[in-house]
Amino acid sequence: MSNRHIEHSDQTCLDRCETVRIWTDLRFKEEYVSDHSALDALDEIHDRILWLSTSIIHHANRVRPNRSGLKVGGHQASCASIASIMTALWFHELRAEDRVSIKPHAGPVWHAINYLFGELDDEQMTTLREFGGLQSYPSRTKDPVPADYSTGSVGIGATAPIWGAVARRYVDSSLRDIGTGRQYSLVGDAELDEGAVWEAVNDPGVKHLGEIVWIIDLNRQSLDRVVPDIAAGRIEATFEAAGWQVITVKFGRLLEDLFAREGGDALRRRILTMSNPEYQRILRCSADELRTRLPGEAGSEGDGDSESGQALRALISDLDDATLLAAIRNLGGHDIPTLLEAFAQIDDSCPTAVIAYTIKGFGLPSSGHPQNHSALIDADEYSALAELSGQDPQAPWSRFDPDTPAGRILAETAQRLARPEFAPAAPVELPRDLERTHKGTSSSQAALGRVLMDLSRQSPETARRVVTVSPDVSSTTNLGGWVNKVGVWSADAAQNWFADDAETILQWNESAQGQHMELGIAETNLVGLLGELGATWSRCSPSG
């Protein structure tokens, strides 16, 4: 696709936002301008994805017969939070050779995308959490369309593509020319509380993996609460300190446009300095309440009687209710052109974290409410959403006509993302006997070291398929001989400064041809890397 997809119409942002569909708490219905531009088509695709993902969960909980009466579940608010990010990613940025790990609770968004591509049929859309049906969390083995990465345990899916990238590079440099592609993680912001995330980000080898792109859905909400701090600065600094590029997508075009007006500085300062819980609270306000709360009361943090409070009041008094409500929730993670501009800045020479500000439940009645994690819309709200989306609540599954702009983007994307058929390599013949008789007592570690050395002598072809991994215990687990023989794998070759030192027994020769991988004392990283190396047989197709 070309840049035309991020071109705006001739209208100013504000005019445009006044006329296009404004998602608020189902209290406003604005017709959106269908000017047949690609941008409008992307908006339309987003709206359909929001509708379908909400419907998948709605059907499982409120329509499908439920003999046990037990809760089925699913997370409409978590899906709504990331639907725009996934629309921008899939329908503009993603390539066939890329791989994506999707935040667990966004499974239905991904099912909706697969449905639009025609990879799922209407009946499958009614099977969320049924035995053999669509999985609530993306699965490589249990979903009808296999996910690139299985996710579910919060925090673990975020790091999997790092180890997937290492495993793919290993295969590419050592065994089979499979190229590379970006490795995306779509990460919930509360996943960053998980220690394993920082264990992986800080691994010294990771800063060399330019194919890593994390897109963080910064909705400031976890399961139970609004995260108290404005933590984005800390998150940005932590990624930067680890050698990552950081791109922050904070505001959408409507807010940016307001910031440029008289009183705009005061509005920006007010939004930037209010606490996360206060911001979430004002997302739940009517336009009238906003007109009082935004400038703030005298003596409060946002002092409405101060000069800036008055400027802010004057600015928002010029806005009609719908625009004011749209503006306060106009965060960059829901503004597709802003996201596309951010994606265009990704520098593939180092890992990237795109921090996208979003609203949990965007476009749903529970939008921004601290307790919306498991909230399900009721039948009336579903009907209202159907009306807003131009959809039929009785027949919710529908795709785009191929002759519409959205249908054409769908077809182009399906073609772009098609992956070639992949035949796994034939397994090598394993030797039955390494011709060693074990005598006496010895440790299993010593036996492992000997087996690896014997293997490299008796069956070099088999040994070429062996990769060892250690969290800083190679020498103490008797891998020294093996490491000396096969070398240490590294994305970048490094000089061995002790190669000429007579006292050095363990030779640390790093190159992309090495077969031993060394990590720091970080056992979750170890398990993640082992898992991805073990999955290369099915992942590492010639398409990358």
Closest C-alpha to 390, from 50, 70, 82: 50
Q: Of ligand TPP, Mg ion, none, which one sits near residue 428, judging by CB under 5 to 8 A according to partner kind? A: none
Q: Shortest Cβ contact with ligand TPP: which residue? A: 188
- Residues 338-377 contacting ligand TPP, CB under 6 A: 360, 373
| Position 285, amino acid | C
- The answer to whether 223 contacts ligand TPP (rule: CB under 6 A) is yes
In sequence order, which residues have a C-beta less than 8 Å from that of residue 246 and are 6 or more positions away? 236, 239, 240, 352, 353, 355
**Residue written as tokens 């006997």?**
433
3-state secondary structure of 485: helix
- The answer to whether 191 contacts ligand TPP (rule: CB under 6 A) is yes
- The answer to whether 510 contacts Mg ion (rule: CB under 5 A) is no
- The answer to whether 190 contacts ligand TPP (rule: CB under 6 A) is yes
- The answer to whether 221 contacts Mg ion (rule: CB under 5 A) is yes
Cβ closer to Mg ion: 225 or 399?
225
Instruction: Give strand pairing partners of 517.
Output: 469
Q: Which of 47, 98, 143, 189 binds Mg ion (CB under 5 A)?
A: 189
Alpha carbon dihedral 63, 66, 71, 76, in 10-degree steps, equals -20
Note whether 105 and 56 are within 8 A (CB). no
Determine the Cα–Cα distance for residues 391 and 387; give it in Å rounded to an integer: 6
- The answer to whether 525 contacts Mg ion (rule: CB under 5 A) is no
Q: How far is the CB of 368 from ligand TPP (least distance, A)?
A: 11
In sequence order, which residues have a C-beta less than 8 Å from that of residue 470 and are 6 or more positions away? 477, 479, 516, 517, 518, 519, 526
- The answer to whether 219 contacts Mg ion (rule: CB under 5 A) is yes
- The answer to whether 188 contacts Mg ion (rule: CB under 5 A) is yes
Q: Of ligand TPP, Mg ion, none, which one sits near residue 524, judging by CB under 5 to 8 A according to partner kind? A: none
Note whether 360 and 281 are within 8 A (CB). no
Q: Which stretch binds ligand TPP (CB under 6 A): 17-25, 217-225, 349-357, 501-509?
A: 217-225
Q: Which of 78, 150, 159, 524 binds ligand TPP (CB under 6 A)?
A: 78
Q: Which letter does DSSP use for residue 484 in this model?
A: H
**Pairing outcome for strands 183-188 and 245-249:** unpaired
- The answer to whether 188 contacts ligand TPP (rule: CB under 6 A) is yes
Rg (CA), the chain: 26
Cβ closer to ligand TPP: 143 or 194?
194
Q: Of Mg ion, ligand TPP, none, which one sits near residue 247, judging by CB under 5 to 8 A according to partner kind? A: none
Rounded to the nearest angstrom, the gap between the alpha carbon of residue 473 and the centroid of all alpha carbons in its chain is 33
Determine the Cα–Cα distance for residues 174 and 191; give it in Å rounded to an integer: 33
- The answer to whether 154 contacts ligand TPP (rule: CB under 6 A) is yes
- The answer to whether 189 contacts ligand TPP (rule: CB under 6 A) is yes
- The answer to whether 54 contacts ligand TPP (rule: CB under 6 A) is no
Determine the Cα–Cα distance for residues 450 and 455; give it in Å rounded to an integer: 8
- The answer to whether 268 contacts ligand TPP (rule: CB under 6 A) is no
3-state secondary structure of 34: coil
Q: Name the packing angle between helices 38-58 and 405-417 (round to 10°).
A: 80
Cβ closer to ligand TPP: 54 or 78?
78
- Residues 89-118 contacting ligand TPP, CB under 6 A: 103, 105
Q: Of Mg ion, ligand TPP, none, which one sits near residue 223, judging by CB under 5 to 8 A according to partner kind? A: ligand TPP
Q: How far is the CB of 420 from ligand TPP (least distance, A)?
A: 33
- The answer to whether 319 contacts ligand TPP (rule: CB under 6 A) is no
Residue 408's φ and ψ, nearest 5 degrees, are -70, -40
Reduce the secondary structure of 70-84 to three states and give it as a string. Answer: CCCCCCHHHHHHHHH
Q: Which stretch binds ligand TPP (CB under 6 A): 149-157, 381-389, 449-457, 460-468?
A: 149-157
- The answer to whether 185 contacts ligand TPP (rule: CB under 6 A) is no
By rule CB under 6 A, what count of residues binds ligand TPP?
18
- The answer to whether 61 contacts Mg ion (rule: CB under 5 A) is no
Determine the Cα–Cα distance for residues 214 and 162; give it in Å rounded to an integer: 10
Q: How far is the CB of 218 from Mg ion (least distance, A)?
A: 7
3-state secondary structure of 367: coil
Footprint on this chain of ligand TPP (rule: CB under 6 A): 78, 81, 103, 105, 153-155, 188-191, 217, 219, 221-223, 360, 373
Footprint on this chain of Mg ion (rule: CB under 5 A): 188-190, 219, 221
